[in-house]
Amino acid sequence: YVIVADVDKEAATAVADGITDAGGEAVAAATDVTDPSDVAAMIETAEEEFGPGDILVNNAVINERKGLIDITIDEFDRTLETNLRGTFLCTREAAKSMKKTVAAESSISLLRRPVMLVVRIKSHMRPPSRVFSILLDQQQKRFQKIIYG
């Protein structure tokens, strides 16, 4: 069970259709990861379709292939917004959803369908993701999986 989120609805739909064609269940969500309301709506869609999340694949990133001298301020700002703020917003909202699963599992033991939230744009990132993992660990919350890559 997958929510495929992309700023480009057609790209998200193509990926979701591929998953469905292969026998899985997937829903596309047009999501601007820099917009808190879009991210909250994506997580809400995931919960409505499949229940609280179990896994987040946090892969929304812009990778400007320009040198320090050539990158514009607007490109730099857009990169930071997507790569840092987007990672933070998706991680925060997914953690809220996953916390619901942890709370339910601590009082009731039952098998659940795993839900994967996929946030996709183009490339890979790591450092901000590690920061958010540390922050979650410091809160001593047990989450199923948060995957960055």
Low-confidence ranges of the chain (pLDDT < 70): 102-149
Question: 0.85 cut: is pTM over it?
Answer: no
CA–CA distance from 148 to each of 20, 37, 68, 128, 145 (Å)? Answer: 23, 22, 26, 10, 10
The predicted pLDDT at position 133 comes to 53
Per-residue pLDDT, 65: 86
CA 33 vs CA 24, 40, 52: distances in Å: 24, 10, 19
For 14-28, write each residue's pLDDT tens digit.
999 999 999 999 999
Bridge partner residues of 117 (DSSP): 3, 56
pLDDT on residue 22: 93
Q: How many helices (H) and strands (E) does the chain have?
A: 5, 5
